[in-house]
Structure 1
Amino acid sequence: MEQVRNGISAELLSEARWRKSRHSGAVGNCVEVAPLPGGEIAMRNSRFPGGPALIYTREEIAAFLAGAKDGEFDDVLS
């Protein structure tokens, strides 16, 4: 059995409704997100749907999205 070191196995989130950005690459190299019943947001790599999923609070996702929209992470791509 594969050991998951960060997050939980996405297989445990079988009821989650995963979605990805329409800007995702054609070969499946994208991030998927799913809202969870408790209000958290799950995030996983679409290339490994059974691999680990990271769970974030709504506040954490909101802070990340606000930073991305403001350009705080633009240097990551350079």
Structure 2
Amino acid sequence: MIHFQNGATASSISGVQWVKSSASNPAGGDCVRFAELPNGEVAMSNSRFPEGPALVFTRSEIAAMLAGVRQGEFDGMAV
């Protein structure tokens, strides 16, 4: 099984499809993007810095984050 290291450059994670929100700013490239990894984990990166680090999360960590987003727990960070 392939292991992906936290902090690896997003561009070094090959063979995955990065997905970003349709609400992202395409002109400025402001978006957080996610990729499902072959080992079942999920990588997250900032598309403005493709050579920057990717953070790797378990599915349960992503589920907890999405639950918090849905409940509005991070709304104050977007204003």
TM-score (structure 2 length as normaliser): 0.83
1:38-72 deviation per Cα after TM superposition (whole angstroms, max 9, x unaligned):
10000010111121110000000000000010011
Q: Gaps spanning 5+ residues in structure 1: where?
A: 1-5
Query: Which residue identity is paired with 1:8?
Result: A
Aligned residues: 73
Q: Which runs of 4+ in 1 moved over 4 A?
A: none
Query: Which residue identity is paired with 2:11?
Result: E
SS in 2 for 1:8: coil
Most deviating of 6-15 and 45-54: 6-15
Percent identity (aligned)? 55
Which structure shows the higher strand fraction? 1
Instruction: Quote the residue 2:51 is aligned against.
Output: 50
Q: Does 1:20 align with 2:20?
A: yes
Instruction: Quote the residue 2:78 is aligned against.
Output: 77
